[in-house]
């Protein structure tokens, strides 16, 4: 408990409930575990009571007589006062309130005494704090849990941390992300938060030693049993009987929440009349176990550590039984194991540390399941470390099990941006492909393809996916491969082929009802609609995709696609909503450890934040993105960063007056052109780069951006090629010549050239035209462009039409040309 003069933080809902019940009920009991803040809440809620309030500490009382004497002292009665004297004294006072604090040891005698006193003094109100309720009819019970962690750095838990830190160290500061990490690690437990906050300047990163420091260190002016967290727990532990202590030590092997059903294979069957279920119920009643809304149970970490140390032999035996249970579940189908995520990972750690009694193959199954869970939620570096250790330790495991380990290793490396190593890890598995099932070979080829795809080796990736499709994969694998081939077509700019592949994938996956993969494909389809300019359909599709991923409990892909939705909101001119989504995505990606996606997320967040006016933080996030990208050696990331850096001068322009506004717009355009007009046009292979350019050009066009030092020896094109100017000639207006405008746009976008059928499809999308008529239409449109001055620069080479490579092209990020004369149509 913190010093009594400290302010009260949070608990608004609980505070209101206690205050209401004090008026409506005769007895109100606040129950909860040690250190949860029961006494502070009771003190705060009763502070404004309209009558006299009497605080009685019952922590050292042992029976009815000592309890009555303690209440008599609080009432100012003589030392010889008896229980009936207390009843008469209460009856003589106007609406008295008894605050009976820490009644854990004396619940039975207090229940009896209150029956007598409330009969004698019916206007009396009683407020009790305890680990368990009295279990009498007139009692109202409020179960107190941790402080809320909702709201990140603005949550109740973080508010308490900051306030107590400032009380102890007025000049101390803490970064928002570090603050959230601390409070999450401390599980929102008020006593633990206050102890940590008082020592904040001396703590580095969160780790196990810090937890022990908090358990051992405390406040000098607090009650002895509240002075440290370990004393508070020890005081409660001593009140448990032997069977309850044993059950609690066995339950401590569960590192997260667990269903009662999972304990059947782990808890020993006690002697006597009480079953394991009875003991769990008793521990929950005494606040050692938390009952969660979904029906699962959970120990506080501090209680878990204390119990595991107090009864280590019991704990170790239970851990062995848990490992056996998890291995059996993982080998069967993994059903239900997701709910024991932390326990699976802890069991896998025991396997690779040779601290498990499992045989080789059973141990491999546990590690494989841990890898699957970590690939979904991270961190990726832990996947790599765990799989590499398992491949060393489990050298005698069956070849298919070792292949699963290699697949998880490849996934972990790929998420970290170590793409060459990821491909090598998956390729190593293919060296044994003659000994593998067809489905495993499909998975290995897919993983090799993903590594190549991330490196923009589109041909190599497509080869892997196509080969995998020849192996008669399952419907789920078939849908995934079709989606991956669609993504390659998407990156190449062939949106029609991409859409067809995505729809084929949805058909295959619809049969399996795999919400995870359905969400991925729908998200890619949403991006395609966004590129086509159908932002309404894009939003509907992306929001549906995110629901799929959230319902499928897919944190990793959910983070990436939250970012996709955020980028759409930026294009919809809602940067505030975009910031919220990008912050959520970035927080998840940092924890998961996907370095490449983290860089992109930082860029997206910086762009949105800049457009909300928070330019300082935007610049800081772009700087972090550049630093992280440096070690990844991915040139495409450089283009993505460069394009998003242009949002900073754009945002400054939007908040400036002339002449600074014009200068900022020119700076933005130059940054945009530095990427899009570079010799390396690989940025077009990234939907992140394409969307950034699209948003920049639209925003600049809406602002009426100043022309940037236009060249005198090249082609200048406005957005969508509505206008163009060759050298220093007049501006040419193509707004009424849509086919010619679309063809020029294609030639500007694809400097390597386009075939006649491609030009026909672009100029007259969706129209079915006879081959000879289509050819004639394209030739007529090209003729009109040539007549406007482009005759010498539109070339035909090897059946492809292209702009001369000697012709510099500058895109002007505006819809209309600068103040200049425009040639008449």
Residue 325 lies inside a defined structural domain of this protein = no
The model's confidence at residue 136, banded by pLDDT at 50, 70 and 90, is: confident
- Per-residue model confidence as pLDDT tens digits over 213-266: 544 454 444 444 444 566 667 767 887 889 999 999 999 999 877 888 888 889
Which has the closest alpha carbon to 194: 159, 225, 170? 159
Whether residues 579 and 647 share a domain: the answer is yes
- Per-residue model confidence as pLDDT tens digits over 32-87: 887 788 888 998 899 889 999 998 888 778 788 889 988 998 999 887 788 899 99
Residue 514 lies inside a defined structural domain of this protein = no
Whether residues 574 and 689 share a domain: the answer is yes
Residue 258 lies inside a defined structural domain of this protein = no
The model's confidence at residue 823, banded by pLDDT at 50, 70 and 90, is: very low
Segment 786-798 mean pLDDT? 92
More confident residue, 438 or 291: 438
Segment 665-681 mean pLDDT? 79
Q: Round to whole Å and give the CA distance between 506 and 520.
A: 10
Residue 636: predicted pLDDT: 86
Q: 376: Cβ–Cβ under 8 A, 6 or more apart, which residues?
A: 553, 554, 555, 556
Q: Calculate the average pLDDT of the chain.
A: 85
The answer, yes or no, to whether residue 527 has pLDDT greater than 90, is yes
Which pairs from 487-496 meet CB under 8 Å and 24+ separation? 487/453, 487/524, 488/453, 488/458, 488/461, 488/462, 490/524, 490/527, 490/528, 490/687, 491/456, 491/458, 491/685, 491/686, 491/687, 492/458, 492/685, 493/684, 493/749, 493/750, 495/528, 495/531, 495/532, 496/761
Residue 222: predicted pLDDT: 46
Residue 218 lies inside a defined structural domain of this protein = yes
Query: Considering its fold, how many domains does the chain have in total?
Result: 5
> CA-CA distances (angstroms) from residue 264 to 251, 280, 329, 540?
11, 12, 14, 45
Residue 3: predicted pLDDT: 35
Residue 5: predicted pLDDT: 45
Residue 117's CATH number: 3.40.50.300
Task: Answer for the pair 410, 447: CB distance below 8 angstroms, yes or no.
Answer: yes
More confident residue, 811 or 613: 613
- Per-residue model confidence as pLDDT tens digits over 84-131: 999 999 999 999 999 998 898 889 999 999 999 999 999 999 999 998
The answer, yes or no, to whether residue 622 has pLDDT greater than 50, is yes
Q: Round to whole Å and give the CA distance between 613 and 591.
A: 27
Task: Output the six-digit token pair for 591.
Answer: 């924890």
Residue 427: predicted pLDDT: 94
Residue 264: predicted pLDDT: 85
Residue 181: predicted pLDDT: 80
More confident residue, 577 or 184: 577
Omega of the bond leading into 386 within 30 degrees of 0 (cis): no
Residue 287: predicted pLDDT: 66
Whether residues 106 and 42 share a domain: the answer is yes
Residue 440 lies inside a defined structural domain of this protein = yes
Residue 379's CATH number: 1.25.40.10
Whether residues 664 and 561 share a domain: the answer is yes
Whether residues 415 and 391 share a domain: the answer is yes
Q: How many CB atoms lie within 10 A of CB 561?
A: 27
Segment 603-616 mean pLDDT? 96
Residue 490: predicted pLDDT: 92
Residue 379 lies inside a defined structural domain of this protein = yes
More confident residue, 75 or 272: 75
Whether residues 130 and 174 share a domain: the answer is no
Whether residues 611 and 649 share a domain: the answer is yes
Residue 400: predicted pLDDT: 94
Residues linked to residue 290 through DSSP beta bridges, in sequence order = 298
Residue 280 lies inside a defined structural domain of this protein = no
Whether residues 90 and 164 share a domain: the answer is no
Crossing angle for the helix pair 738-749 and 771-785, to the nearest 10 degrees: 80
The answer, yes or no, to whether residue 208 has pLDDT greater than 60, is no
More confident residue, 685 or 273: 685
- Per-residue model confidence as pLDDT tens digits over 406-415: 999 999 999 8
- What one-character-per-residue DSSP string does 212-263 give? HHHHH---TTS-GGGSSHHHHHHHHHTTS-HHHHHHHHHHTT--S-B-GGGG
Residue 381 lies inside a defined structural domain of this protein = yes
Whether residues 209 and 161 share a domain: the answer is yes
Least confident of 4-13, 307-316, 343-352, 680-689: 4-13
- Per-residue model confidence as pLDDT tens digits over 352-400: 999 888 999 999 999 999 998 888 877 888 999 999 999 999 999 999 9
Whether residues 102 and 79 share a domain: the answer is yes
Whether residues 745 and 661 share a domain: the answer is no
Domain end residue (candidates: 172, 201, 232): 232
Segment 171-186 mean pLDDT? 79
Domain end residue (candidates: 656, 672, 703): 703
Task: Answer for the pair 675, 689: CB distance below 8 angstroms, yes or no.
Answer: yes
Segment 192-221 mean pLDDT? 56
Whether residues 560 and 678 share a domain: the answer is yes
Residue 802's CATH number: 1.10.10.10
Domain encompassing residue 797: 715-823
Domain end residue (candidates: 143, 170, 195): 143
The answer, yes or no, to whether residue 209 has pLDDT greater than 80, is no
**pLDDT > 90 fraction of the chain, expressed in percent and rounded:** 44
More confident residue, 820 or 515: 515
The answer, yes or no, to whether residue 492 has pLDDT greater than 50, is yes
């Amino acid at each position: 408990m913190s010093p009594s003069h400290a302010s009260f933080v949070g608990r608004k809902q609980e505070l209101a409930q206690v205050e209401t019940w004090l008026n409506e009920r005769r007895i109100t009991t606040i129950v909860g575990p040690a250190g949860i803040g029961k006494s502070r809440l009771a003190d705060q809620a009763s502070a404004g009571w309209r009558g006299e309030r009497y605080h009685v500490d019952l922590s050292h009382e042992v029976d009815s007589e000592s309890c009555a004497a303690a209440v008599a002292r609080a009432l100012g009665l003589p030392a010889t006062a008896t229980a009936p004297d207390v009843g008469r004294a209460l009856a003589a006072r106007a609406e008295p309130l008894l605050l009976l604090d820490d009644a854990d040891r004396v619940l039975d005698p207090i229940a009896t005494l209150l029956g007598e006193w409330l009969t004698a003094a019916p206007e009396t109100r009683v407020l009790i704090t305890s680990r368990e309720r009295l279990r009498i009819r007139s009692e109202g019970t409020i179960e107190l849990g941790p402080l809320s962690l909702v709201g990140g750095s603005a949550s109740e838990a973080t508010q308490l941390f900051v306030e107590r830190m400032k009380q102890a160290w007025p000049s101390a500061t803490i970064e928002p992300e570090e603050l959230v990490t601390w409070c999450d690690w401390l599980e929102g437990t008020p006593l633990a938060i206050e102890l940590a906050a008082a020592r904040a300047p001396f703590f580095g990163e969160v780790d196990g030693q810090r937890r022990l420091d908090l358990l051992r260190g405390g406040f000098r002016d607090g009650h002895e049993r509240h002075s440290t967290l370990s004393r508070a727990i020890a005081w409660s532990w001593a009140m448990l009987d032997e069977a309850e202590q044993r059950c609690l030590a066995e339950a401590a092997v569960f590192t997260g929440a667990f269903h009662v059903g999972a304990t059947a294979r782990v808890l020993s069957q006690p002697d006597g009349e009480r079953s394991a279920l009875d003991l769990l119920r008793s521990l929950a009643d005494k606040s050692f176990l938390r009952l969660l809304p979904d029906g699962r149970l959970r120990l506080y970490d501090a209680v878990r550590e204390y119990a595991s140390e107090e009864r280590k032999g019991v704990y170790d035996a239970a851990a062995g039984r848990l490992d056996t249970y998890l291995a059996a579940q993982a080998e069967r189908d993994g059903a239900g194991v997701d709910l024991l995520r932390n326990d699976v990972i802890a069991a896998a750690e025991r396997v690779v540390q040779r601290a498990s009694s499992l045989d080789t193959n059973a141990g491999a199954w546990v590690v494989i399941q841990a890898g699957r869970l970590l690939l979904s939620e991270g961190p990726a570096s832990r996947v790599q470390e765990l799989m590499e250790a398992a491949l060393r330790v489990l050298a005698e495991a069956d070849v298919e099990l070792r292949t699963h380990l290699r697949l998880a290793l490849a996934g972990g490396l790929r998420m970290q941006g170590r793409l060459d190593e990821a491909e090598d890890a998956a390729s190593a598995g293919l060296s044994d492909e003659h000994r593998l099932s067809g489905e495993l070979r499909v998975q290995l080829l897919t993983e090799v393809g993903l590594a190549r795809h991330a490196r923009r080796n589109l041909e190599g990736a497509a080869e892997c996916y196509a080969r995998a499709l020849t192996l008669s994969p399952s419907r789920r694998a078939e849908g995934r491969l079709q989606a991956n081939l669609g993504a390659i077509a998407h990156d190449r700019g062939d949106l029609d082929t991409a859409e067809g592949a995505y729809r084929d994938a949805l058909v295959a996956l619809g049969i399996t009802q795999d919400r995870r993969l359905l969400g991925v494909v729908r998200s890619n389809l949403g991006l395609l609609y966004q590129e086509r300019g159908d932002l309404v359909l894009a939003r509907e599709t992306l929001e549906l995709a995110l629901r799929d991923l959230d319902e499928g409990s897919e944190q990793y892909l959910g983070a990436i696609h939250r970012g996709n939705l955020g980028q759409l909101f930026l294009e919809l001119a809602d940067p505030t909503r975009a910031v919220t989504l990008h912050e959520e995505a970035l927080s998840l990606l940092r924890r998961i450890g996907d370095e490449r996606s983290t860089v992109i997320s930082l860029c997206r967040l910086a762009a949105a934040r800049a457009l909300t006016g928070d330019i300082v933080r935007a610049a800081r996030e772009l700087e972090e993105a550049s630093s992280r990208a440096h070690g990844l050696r991915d040139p495409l990331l450089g283009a993505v960063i460069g394009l998003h850096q242009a949002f900073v001068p754009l945002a400054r322009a939007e908040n400036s007056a002339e002449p600074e506004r014009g200068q900022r717009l020119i700076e933005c355009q130059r940054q945009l052109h530095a990427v899009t007009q570079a010799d390396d046009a690989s940025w077009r292979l990234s939907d992140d780069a394409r969307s950034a350019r699209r948003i920049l050009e639209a925003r600049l066009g809406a602002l009426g951006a100043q022309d940037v030092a236009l060249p005198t020896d090249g082609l200048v094109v406005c957005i969508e090629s509505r206008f163009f100017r060759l050298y220093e000639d007049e501006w040419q207006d193509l707004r009424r010549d849509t086919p010619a405008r679309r063809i020029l746009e294609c030639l500007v976008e694809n400097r390597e050239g386009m075939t006649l059928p491609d030009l026909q499809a672009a100029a007259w999308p969706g129209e079915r035209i006879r081959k000879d008529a289509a050819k004639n239409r394209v030739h007529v449109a090209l003729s009109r462009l040539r007549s406007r001055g482009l005759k010498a620069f539109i070339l035909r080479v090897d059946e492809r039409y292209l702009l001369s490579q000697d012709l510099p092209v500058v895109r002007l990020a505006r819809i209309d040309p600068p103040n200049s004369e425009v040639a008449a149509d």
